[in-house]
A and B are shown apart, each in its own frame.
Chain A
Amino acid sequence: MSVLTLHNSLTTYLVIAAILFGMGVYGLVTRRTLIGMLIASEMVLIASSINFMAFNRFTAPDPAVGQIFTLFIMAIAAAEAAIGLSIVIAVYRNYQSVDTEDLVDLKG
C-alpha cells in the first residue's frame, strides 16, 4: 500500500479515530483544568464521528445512516459543551478557579 492511496483505505481512518480516542481519554485523566477536560471530551466524541463516517464510506450497505449519526453527534456535542461551560462558569463564581486541584470539597 503506497502512501498515495492511504486516503482511500478504511484502516487509515480507524487508526486516526483510535488515536483521537486515546488522546481524549488520556486528556480527561491528566488535564488539570476543567476547560482542558471539556476539550478532551470533545476529542472522544469526534473520534467516534470519524469512525462512523469511515464505516459509512467504506463498508455500510446504506451510505446515509453513518452521516446522519455523525450530524446527531455534532449537535449533541454542542449541547454538551454549552451545558459544560455554563457549569464551569458556576464553578468559577463559587471557587474563583477552574483548576481541578482547587475543587476538593468533595472527596470522591
Chain B
Amino acid sequence: MQFLPELTLLGASLILFMVSLKDSSNNGISNIAIILGALVFGSTLLSFSQEGSLFFNSYKVDLFSQIFKTLIAGAMLVVLLLGRDLKGINTKVRPEYYLFMFISTLGLMMLVSSVELLAIFVALELSSFAVYIMVPMRDDSGRYRIQMEAGIKYLLFGVTATGFMLFGMSYMYGLTGSTQLPVIIESLSSLYSEPAAVIAVLMVLAGFFYKLAIFPFHFWVPDVYEGASNETTAFIASVPKLAATAMLIRVVTMINGDGQVIVNVLMVCAVLSMFYGNLSALVQKDIKRMLGFSGIAHAGFVLLGILTMQITGYANAIYYIIGYVVMNLACFLVICTVSKEGENVQINDLSGLHQRAPLLALTLGIGLFALAGIPPFVGFMGKFMLLAGALQEGYLLLVILAAINTAIAIFYYLSVIRIAYCSDTEGRGSVIASPLTNIVSVTLLLIITIMGVLPQRFIDFAASAVTAML
C-alpha cells in the first residue's frame, strides 16, 4: 500500500511501452493515457494516509510526501487532460511521449519520498532525463527546429546543475560519513562554522534551484518554454516545481541557527529571481516565454517563504506553490486550446478572445489576475501570507523589494488581459473548446477561487504535514 502510487505509475508506463511497440495509428492513445493518469491519481488518494519507511530507511512515506504525491498526480492528470489533442507531437511518437511523461512523474514522486542522497540523486535524474527527451519530441516536420536547440540547452544546464549537486553531496558525505538525511542533519548541525559544510549545502541546493528555476540556474527557462511544445511546457512549468519545492524544504530544514550565511545567499537569490523574472517578462511577445519569466519571479516568492525557516513559512511556501501550479495550468489550458496546430502562441494571437471563446477568456483572465496577486484569488492570499511571514521574521528590506516586484508584475499580466478583453478579433476565427476542456477550466477556476477565499484550512494542513516531516 505504501508504494502503491509508484507501482501504479510503473505499471502504467509498462502498458504505454507495450502500446508503443505496436506499429499502428494510435488513435486512442491519449484516452488510454488519461485513464492511466486518473488511476494514478486515485492510487495516490488511496495511499494518502499511509506512513512508514521502505528500502532500508532511504524512502520515507509520511503525510508530507503523500500530499505532494497527490498534487503531482493531480497536476499530471490536468496536463494530460488539457493536452488531450497533443497537437505539437507527431502521432507516431505519442505513446513514447506519454511513456516519458509517466516516467518523469515517477521520478518526481520518488523524489519527494527520498531521504537518502543516492535515492534523491537517482530519482532526480530519472525525472530529468525523461523530460530532456520530451522537449525535442516536438513535431519537426513543420517549420520548427527550435525544439532541438531547447532540448540540448536544457540538457547541458541540467547536467551542470546535477554536477554541482553531486559535488555538494560528496562533501556532505565526506563531512558526515553517511548518506542518510536524518544522520546528515544531526552531524551537520555542529559543523556550520566550517566553510565546507556551507558550500556543501549550497551546492546541493543548486540542483533543486535548477528544477524550480531560481536565479543562478534559471537560464534554461525562456528557451525551453519557447522551444518545447505547448503541452510539454505545461508539464515542465507545473509538475517538477512541486517536487522541487518539497525537496528545497527538506534540504533547508537541515540548516540551523549557525547557517546564517546560507540564509543570506537564499535571500539574494530570491530577490534577484524576482527582479530578473519580472523585468524580463515586461518585454516578451511570446506568451509562453512571458509565463516562463513570471515563473522565475514566482520561484523567488516561494524561496521567500522557505528562507524564514519557520513551520508557517514552509506551509506558506507549499500553499503558494500549489496555487502557482493551478494558476499556471489555467493559463496553459488556454494556450494549448488557442494554438491550432501546436504552434507557439504570441500575445497578439489572443486579441478579442472574449468574443472567440468566452470561457477560455475568463479562464485566462482569472488565471492572470491570480498570478498578478489580485484578491480574492489564491495568488493574492499566497503573496500576502509570504510577505507577512517574512515581515514577522524581520526581513523588512526583503518584503519591500518583493512588494515592488508585485507592482511590476501587474503590468505585464494585465496587458495580456487587456488584449484578450479590450481589443478587436481582427478576423481571427473562434476557438472551439471540447466539453472536457470546459470542465477542466471550470474546475481550475473553482480551485483558484476557493483556495483564495478559504486559505486557512489549506495552510493548517500544510503546516501539519511539515510538522510530521520534521
Contacts and interface: CB of A to CB of B under 8 A. Distances in A.
Contacts of B54: none
A52 B156 contact: no
B159 A44 contact: yes
B167 A47 contact: yes
B163 interface: yes
Given A69-B117, A87-B152, A106 B227 contact: yes
B147 to A, nearest CB: 9
Main secondary structure of the interface of A (DSSP, over half): helix
Contacts of A106: 146, 149-150, 153, 222-223, 226-227
B133 A83 contact: yes
Contacts of A54: 174
Interface string A43-59: 01101100110110001
B146 A48 contact: no
B162 to A, nearest CB: 8
B17 interface: no
Contacts of B220: 108
A65 B174 contact: no
B177 A60 contact: yes
A24 B122 contact: no
Interface string B213-227: 000000111110011
A2 interface: no
A108 B223 contact: yes
B173 A41 contact: no
A36 B153 CA distance: 13
B93 interface: no
B461 interface: no
A76 B122 contact: yes
Contacts of A90: 136, 140, 148, 151
Interface string B108-142: 00000000011001100100010011001000100
Contacts of A108: 153, 219-223
Contacts of A45: 159, 162-163, 166
A21 B163 contact: yes
A48 B162 CA distance: 10
Interface string A3-43: 00000000000000100010011001000001001100100
B170 A34 contact: no
B171 interface: yes
A60 B170 CA distance: 11
B160 A25 contact: yes
A77 to B, nearest CB: 9
Given A69-B118, A79-B129, A106-B149, A48 B156 contact: no
Contact of B170 (A24, A48, A94, A95): A48
B428 interface: no
Contact of B152 (A69, A79, A88): A88
Contact of B173 (A34, A66, A105): A66
B179 interface: yes
Interface in A70-97: 72-73, 76, 79-80, 83-84, 87-88, 90-91, 93-95
B12 interface: no
A37 B156 contact: yes
A94 B219 CA distance: 23
Contacts of B171: 51
12 contacts: A21-B163, A25-B163, A45-B163, A51-B170, A65-B179, A69-B121, A72-B121, A72-B122, A73-B121, A73-B166, A80-B129, A108-B222
Given A55-B170, A90-B148, A94-B140, 9 more contacts: A17-B170, A25-B160, A44-B167, A73-B166, A84-B155, A84-B156, A91-B151, A93-B148, A108-B221
